[in-house]
């Protein structure tokens, strides 16, 4: 059984766990908090970042690398569409979600309102949160509203692109931010549909339970 090291409150850890769920890969989640610098963990993740993966003698880190490995080893269900063109589109959405959307939803909202306090790194920068919500994030949500289909997922079947794009918004929802469904109806519908997918629903429920236990 593979081991996924990290805390599900990280969207990158959740991403790997969701791929394992989608592909029906048995796994154990070994809870490791961000910032862990033990020799054992650094042997798996030299940069000290979560997630890290153990599969037999193999130890690798970085969520994108881990997902690529799982997709190549466990081939019954693919995390990307079949055509070359659609797979290229998937990779774009994966990078976009892991970079720009993570920068804004995680760095600008989730980190400020939750993770910063959890890691004892100071108080919430409310000006940064307001700037993100009012100025920086809306153009990205406008873009997603244009490219999302009226129904279904980004590229047909549920896959890694959907996990990466919806993931940062699902994290931001824990701290009270959700895109306005009146202004961005397709985006709001898409996020909720990803949340309810069988590969995601239990993960999000477990994540919410952990979040609530840490914010009491």
Give residue 33's pLDDT.
Answer: 86
Cα–Cα distance measured from residue 175 to residue 159, given in angstroms and rounded to the nearest whole number: 25
The separation between CA 124 and the C-alpha centre of its own chain, rounded to angstroms, equals 22
Give residue 116's pLDDT.
Answer: 85
| Whether residue 187 has pLDDT greater than 90 | yes
H-assigned helices in the chain: 11-22, 39-44, 63-73, 84-96, 116-118, 126-131, 137-147, 160-174, 185-196, 201-214
Q: Name which residue leads in pLDDT, 35 or 145.
A: 145
Q: Which of 13, 45, 37, 19 is nearest to 160 (CA)?
A: 19
Give residue 215's pLDDT.
Answer: 85
User: Within the chain, which residue ranges are assigned CATH 3.40.30.10?
Assistant: 2-73
Give residue 120's pLDDT.
Answer: 81
The mean per-residue pLDDT over the stretch 38-61 comes to 93
Give residue 67's pLDDT.
Answer: 98
Q: Which of 82, 100, 114, 126 is nearest to 214 (CA)?
A: 114
Q: Name which residue leads in pLDDT, 210 or 66.
A: 66
pLDDT-above-90 percentage for the chain: 87
Size of the chain in residues = 216
Summary mean pLDDT of the chain:
95
- Confidence band of 197 (pLDDT split at 50, 70, 90): very high
| Whether residue 122 has pLDDT greater than 80 | yes
Token pair of 148, please?
């999302």
What DSSP assignment string belongs to 62-75?
A: -HHHHHHHHHHH--
Cα–Cα distance measured from residue 142 to residue 132, given in angstroms and rounded to the nearest whole number: 14
The mean per-residue pLDDT over the stretch 171-196 comes to 97
Cα–Cα distance measured from residue 133 to residue 148, given in angstroms and rounded to the nearest whole number: 20
C-alpha angle with apex 207: 102 to 93, nearest 5 degrees? 30
Predicted structure pTM score: 0.95
User: Within the chain, which residue ranges are assigned CATH 1.20.1050.10?
Assistant: 84-214
**The domain made up of 2-73 is a member of CATH 3.30.450.40:** no
pLDDT-above-70 percentage for the chain: 100
Are 2 and 154 in contact by the 8 Å Cβ rule? The answer is no
Cα–Cα distance measured from residue 88 to residue 140, given in angstroms and rounded to the nearest whole number: 20
Token pair of 128, please?
């940064």
Give residue 145's pLDDT.
Answer: 98
Give residue 91's pLDDT.
Answer: 97
- Confidence band of 161 (pLDDT split at 50, 70, 90): very high
- Confidence band of 205 (pLDDT split at 50, 70, 90): very high
| Whether residue 214 has pLDDT greater than 80 | yes
CATH number belonging to domain 84-214: 1.20.1050.10
The mean per-residue pLDDT over the stretch 87-108 comes to 97
């Amino acid at each position: 059984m593979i081991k996924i090291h990290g805390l599900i409150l990280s969207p990158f850890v959740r991403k790997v766990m969701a791929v394992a769920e989608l592909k029906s890969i048995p796994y154990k989640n070994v809870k490791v908090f961000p910032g862990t610098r033990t020799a054992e963990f650094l042997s798996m993740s030299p940069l000290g970042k979560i997630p890290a993966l153990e599969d037999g003698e193999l130890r690798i880190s970085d969520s994108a690398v881990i997902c690529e490995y799982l997709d190549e080893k466990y081939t019954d269900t693919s995390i990307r569409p079949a055509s070359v063109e659609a797979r290229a589109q998937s990779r774009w959405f994966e990078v976009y979600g892991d970079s720009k959307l993570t920068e804004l939803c995680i760095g600008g909202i989730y980190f400020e309102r939750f993770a910063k306090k959890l890691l004892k790194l100071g108080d919430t920068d409310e000006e940064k949160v307001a700037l993100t919500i009012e100025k920086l994030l809306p153009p990205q949500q406008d873009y997603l509203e244009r490219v999302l289909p009226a129904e279904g997922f980004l590229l047909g079947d549920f896959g890694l692109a959907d996990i990466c794009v919806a993931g940062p918004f699902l994290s931001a929802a824990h701290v009270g931010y959700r895109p306005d469904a009146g202004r961005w109806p397709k985006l709001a519908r898409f996020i909720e549909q990803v949340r309810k997918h069988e590969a995601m629903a239990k993960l999000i429920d477990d994540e919410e339970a952990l979040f609530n236990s840490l914010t009491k």
